[in-house]
């Protein structure tokens, strides 16, 4: 069957051309005509406007088979910037990227903790200014802020059904307040989906058509990319593997269900088990008490994971048990979505990923339903701490750079990962 076709409104032909230029590295006008299917007149008009706006520059000539050499076009990466903010209980990560998605500045500040949302927004606005000014970038060139946080998100804004540690953020009009405080447009998103985008744009999953980022920070989630395009589901809340049932008779989860991956295997469950064993708690240097107050779940999890990595047997057993549950949940995700690649990411897997990866890979090799057809490769992210913030920034860039559907040919130039992806079969 052929691929579905759709009408191209004028506004997005600009974005499509810009994205082809970005993906190709350098490309001629003739190359753009071939890659997009637009007419020569359309390409000529769109390119003229992009050059006028300073987004694209001419950059020398390509050799041509007969005829005169063709002028090459290139993105002017420094013409526009985007801010990415990853807001979490345990930390707030900021990145500033240029139009090509390259990170030009990054910083990490204290998490939202138990502070009131308005106070956190005020602080974030100041920190965004610090980020932009510190990089010496003209604020007028900043397209906007991508702001990602734990889901599920409401269609409009906010963190309805937020996890316990961020419940006071539910129904807070996050995008509106940040927009007012910074004067910059705000795009909200889910942290796990942003992590997947961050991995994708940083080239970590080149060649994958159907990829998930299994994301463990304070909770467990996943972000799903189909040919580089986020799969959002009907309300922007897809990929919630932290709340699929692995044991119908298991303990009750904060979400209201029983035996969820998160309540069995999430960082809070690992920390709780470690605290139950005085030897493990001591080896991990966990403070006494119930873990509330200033220590965060993610920080305590990291302490247990480090103890496990040092070979403390009790800590290792607790981490291994968590890894086996996460492996089963990842297999479910792979069976439902027919994945070809999984990246283990998020702040907690940045510390513990090397202990989880072999367990998840073994589970998929042994029991992924379609294993006779193809394997599912499991890798640990090399940019787990910043992937969600990078993904958040690319959400803003995508409003300027709308990718063409996969399968579009990029003649010449460097094929970036999102263009190298194969077209899905049969649609």
The strand ranges marked E within 76-172 are 81-87, 91-98, 103-110, 142-149
Positions 128 through 187 that interact with a second copy (CB under 8 A): 152-155, 160-161, 187
Whether 209 and 198 have beta carbons less than 8 Å apart is answered as: no
Task: Rule CB under 8 A: say whether 3 interacts with a second copy.
Answer: yes
Positions 63 through 102 that interact with a second copy (CB under 8 A): none
# of chain residues touching a second copy (CB under 8 A) = 83
The residue from 50, 246, 386, 410 that contacts a second copy (CB under 8 A) is: 246
Task: Rule CB under 8 A: say whether 251 interacts with a second copy.
Answer: no
One DSSP character per residue, 185-224 reads -EEEEEHHHHHHHHHHHTTTTTT-SEEEEEEESSSEEEEE
Q: Which stretch binds a second copy (CB under 8 A): 120-128, 197-205, 228-236, 385-393?
A: 228-236
Tokens of 279: 């030897």
The residue from 1, 60, 63, 68 that contacts a second copy (CB under 8 A) is: 1
Q: In this complex, which beta carbon is closest to a second copy, that of residue 140 or of residue 248?
A: 248
Task: Rule CB under 8 A: say whether 402 interacts with a second copy.
Answer: yes
Task: Rule CB under 8 A: say whether 54 interacts with a second copy.
Answer: no
* Largest distance between two CA atoms of the chain: 79
Q: Which stretch binds a second copy (CB under 8 A): 72-80, 108-116, 129-137, 361-369?
A: 361-369
Strand order in the sheet with 377-380: 229-230, 220-226, 210-216, 341-345, 377-380
Q: Which stretch binds a second copy (CB under 8 A): 97-105, 108-116, 119-127, 227-235?
A: 227-235
Q: Which stretch binds a second copy (CB under 8 A): 6-14, 65-73, 102-110, 111-119?
A: 6-14
Min separation Cβ 261 and a second copy, Å:
10
Min separation Cβ 258 and a second copy, Å:
8
Question: Cis bond leading into 152, ω under 30°?
Answer: yes
Query: HSE on the CB side for 104, CA within 13 Å?
Result: 22
The residue from 22, 80, 89, 243 that contacts a second copy (CB under 8 A) is: 243
Min separation Cβ 68 and a second copy, Å:
26
Q: In this complex, which beta carbon is closest to a second copy, that of residue 133 or of residue 171?
A: 171
Neighbours of 64 (CB within 10 A): 11
Min separation Cβ 70 and a second copy, Å:
20
Task: Rule CB under 8 A: say whether 335 interacts with a second copy.
Answer: yes
Q: In this complex, which beta carbon is closest to a second copy, that of residue 99 or of residue 303?
A: 99
Cα radius of gyration (the chain): 23
Min separation Cβ 426 and a second copy, Å:
5
The residue from 244, 272, 377, 420 that contacts a second copy (CB under 8 A) is: 244
Q: In this complex, which beta carbon is closest to a second copy, that of residue 110 or of residue 369?
A: 369
Task: Rule CB under 8 A: say whether 395 interacts with a second copy.
Answer: yes
Q: Which stretch binds a second copy (CB under 8 A): 32-40, 68-76, 88-96, 301-309?
A: 32-40
Task: Rule CB under 8 A: say whether 207 interacts with a second copy.
Answer: no
Min separation Cβ 144 and a second copy, Å:
11
Nearest CA to 254 out of 166, 158, 148 is that of: 166
Whether 111 and 92 have beta carbons less than 8 Å apart is answered as: yes
Whether 322 and 270 have beta carbons less than 8 Å apart is answered as: yes
Rounded CA-CA distance 58/210 in Å is 35
Nearest CA to 96 out of 402, 375, 396 is that of: 396
Please state the φ and ψ torsions of residue 75, each to the nearest 5 degrees: -65, 140
Q: Which residues pair with 405 in a beta bridge?
A: none
Whether 117 and 152 have beta carbons less than 8 Å apart is answered as: no
Task: Rule CB under 8 A: say whether 377 interacts with a second copy.
Answer: no
Beta strands 186-190; 142-149: pairing state:
parallel
Task: Rule CB under 8 A: say whether 41 interacts with a second copy.
Answer: no
Min separation Cβ 404 and a second copy, Å:
5
Min separation Cβ 402 and a second copy, Å:
5
The residue from 41, 248, 294, 311 that contacts a second copy (CB under 8 A) is: 248
CA 198, 202, 204, 210 torsion-angle sign: positive
Rounded CA-CA distance 8/219 in Å is 40
Task: Rule CB under 8 A: say whether 412 interacts with a second copy.
Answer: no
Neighbours of 354 (CB within 10 A): 12
């Amino acid at each position: 069957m052929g691929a579905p076709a759709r009408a191209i409104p004028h506004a997005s032909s600009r974005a499509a051309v810009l994205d082809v230029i970005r993906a190709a590295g350098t490309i001629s006008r003739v190359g753009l005509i071939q890659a997009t299917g637009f007419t020569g007149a359309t390409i000529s008009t769109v390119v003229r406007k992009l050059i006028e706006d300073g987004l694209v520059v001419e950059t020398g000539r390509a050799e041509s088979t007969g005829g005169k050499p063709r002028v090459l076009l290139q993105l002017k990466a420094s013409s526009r910037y985007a801010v990415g903010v990853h807001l979490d209980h345990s930390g707030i990560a900021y990145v500033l990227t240029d139009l090509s998605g390259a990170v030009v500045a990054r910083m990490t500040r204290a998490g939202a903790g138990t502070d009131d949302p308005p106070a956190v927004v005020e602080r974030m606005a100041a920190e965004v200014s610090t980020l932009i000014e510190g990089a010496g970038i003209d604020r007028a060139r900043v397209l906007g802020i991508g702001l990602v946080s734990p889901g599920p998100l409401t269609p409009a804004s906010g963190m309805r059904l937020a996890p316990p540690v961020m419940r006071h953020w539910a129904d807070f009009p996050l995008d509106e307040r940040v927009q007012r405080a910074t004067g910059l447009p705000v795009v909200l998103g889910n942290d796990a989906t942003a992590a997947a985008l961050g991995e994708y744009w940083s080239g970590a999953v080149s060649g994958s058509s159907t990829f998930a980022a299994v994301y463990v920070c304070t909770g467990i989630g996943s972000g799903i990319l189909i040919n580089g395009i986020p799969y959002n589901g009907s309300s922007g809340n897809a990929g919630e593997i932290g709340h699929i049932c692995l044991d119908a008779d298991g303990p009750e989860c904060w979400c209201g269900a029983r035996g969820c991956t998160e309540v069995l295997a999430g960082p809070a469950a690992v920390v709780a088990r470690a605290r139950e064993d005085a030897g493990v708690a001591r080896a991990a240097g966990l403070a006494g008490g119930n873990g509330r107050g200033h220590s965060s779940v993610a920080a305590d999890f990291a302490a247990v994971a480090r103890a496990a990595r040092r070979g403390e047997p009790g800590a290792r057993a607790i981490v291994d048990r968590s890894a086996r549950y996460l492996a089963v949940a990842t297999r479910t995700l792979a069976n439902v979505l027919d994945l070809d690649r999984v990246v283990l990411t998020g702040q907690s897997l940045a510390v513990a990923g090397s202990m989880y990866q072999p367990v998840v890979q073994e589970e998929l090799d042994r029991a992924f339903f379609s294993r006779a057809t193809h394997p599912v490769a499991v890798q640990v992210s090399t940019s787990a701490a910043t992937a969600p913030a990078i993904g958040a920034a690319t959400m803003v860039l995508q409003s300027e750079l709308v990718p063409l559907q996969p399968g579009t040919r990029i003649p010449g130039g460097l094929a970036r990962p999102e263009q190298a992806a194969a077209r899905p079969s049969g649609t």
